[in-house]
Chains A and B, each alone.
Chain A
């Protein structure tokens, strides 16, 4: 009887572990000066502007997911700036070495003094999807941005992910 109970407990622990299997990811990417698609004044307060821009980035330390490493990617983002604060919201599309993609939604905020954001800028991100082996990827994390003198940025990323287990193949019905 004791062995049977122990068996059940072990099975429950394994199942719980499998359901919550989160894998940690870390990486570092360098982004070139962004392409600014446009900037407009909000008009209500001096220094309140809206900007649409795109970053192109390369991973110097790729994030490893499902046995693959992230290679490069780009973000389309909306920046709202005031004289003392800036917030950025956007979507990042990352490319893995094998061509699979992952999609990330992100948001960061920083105080601004003398026209420059307080560094490092800290933000949060979450996966919104992926392709190939990363289809259905879920997870979230944080990042820190250190602006570069040339207008680019250095970004450290960390977080965790899990990918839903593939559905078992259907067994053919016996006639």
Chain B
């Protein structure tokens, strides 16, 4: 009887572990100065603008996801700037070296002092993926430092999990 209870407890622990299995990931990505598609003055305070931007990024230290490595990204986003702060929200489509794609939502904030941006701090979360990473979930943080050419290098970290594979359907016995 004791052995049976122990067996059931072990099985429950294994199931719980599999369901919540989070894998840590980290990497470094550099994004070129973004293309500004449009900008508008808001009009309420000097320097308050909204901008629509898109850009490309490449991973110098890739994140490894399900055995594939992140290669490059495209991003599209909004930036709201005031005299003292920039906040950005956007969407990243990342391509892995396997050809699979990951979809990521990002949100960040950058302090401005004397007209110059400081360190960017942000959060991200997976909103989906294709191929082997279909159904990926996870989130994390990033920090970025700008360069004189307008590019920003981000250190990214976080974790992800993949949905458990669906159990094979048992064939129904045919009734005679």
Instruction: Show the binding face of A for B, using Cβ within 8 Å.
Output: 36-45, 48, 50-52, 54, 74, 76-78, 90-91, 93, 101, 103, 128-129
> B97 at the A/B interface (Cβ < 8 Å)?
no
Q: In the docked arrangement, what's the CA distance between A74 and B37, Å?
A: 21
Q: Are A52 and B38 in contact (CB under 8 A)?
A: yes
Q: List 13 A-B contacts (CB under 8 A).
A: A37-B37, A37-B40, A38-B52, A39-B37, A40-B54, A42-B91, A43-B91, A44-B103, A44-B128, A50-B78, A54-B40, A101-B44, A128-B44
How far is B37's CA from A35's CA once the two chains are assembled, in angstroms? 14
Contact indicator B52/A43 (Cβ below 8 Å): no
Q: Is B39 an interface residue (CB 8 A)?
A: yes
Proximity bits, B27-51, A CB within 8 Å = 1, else 0: 0000000000111111110001011
Interface residues of chain A: helix, strand, loop or mixed (majority): strand
B127 within 8 A of A: yes
B97-136 contacts to A (CB < 8 Å): 103, 127-128
Which B residues have a C-beta under 8 Å from some C-beta of A?
A: 37-44, 48, 50-52, 54, 74, 76-78, 91, 93, 103, 127-128
Known contacts: A44-B93, A76-B50, A93-B44. The answer to whether A37 contacts B76 by CB under 8 A is no
Establish whether residues B127 and A52, one from each chain, have CB atoms under 8 Å apart when the complex forms: no
Shortest Cβ gap from A132 to chain B (Å): 14
In the complex, what residues of A have CB within 8 A of residue B38's CB? 36-38, 52
**Distance, CA A49 to CA B54, complexed state (A):** 12
Q: By the criterion CB–CB under 8 Å, are A38 and B37 in contact?
A: yes
User: B52 near A91 (CB under 8 angstroms)?
Assistant: no
- Nearest A-chain residue to B48, judged by Cβ: A91
Expressed in whole angstroms, the Cα–Cα distance for A4 and B152 within the complex equals 69
**Cα–Cα, bound, A47→B27 (Å):** 30
User: Quick one: closest B residue to A48, CB to CB?
Assistant: B91
- Most chain A Cβ neighbours within 10 Å, of B40, B52, B54, B93: B40
Complex: chain B residue closest to A80, CB-CB: B78
CB distance from B149 to the nearest CB of A (A): 23
Going nearest first, the 3 A-B pairs with the smallest beta carbon separation are A38-B38, A37-B38, A38-B37
Cα distance A93–B41 when bound, in Å? 11
User: Known contacts A37-B52, A38-B37; is A43 also within 8 Å of B44 by CB?
Assistant: no
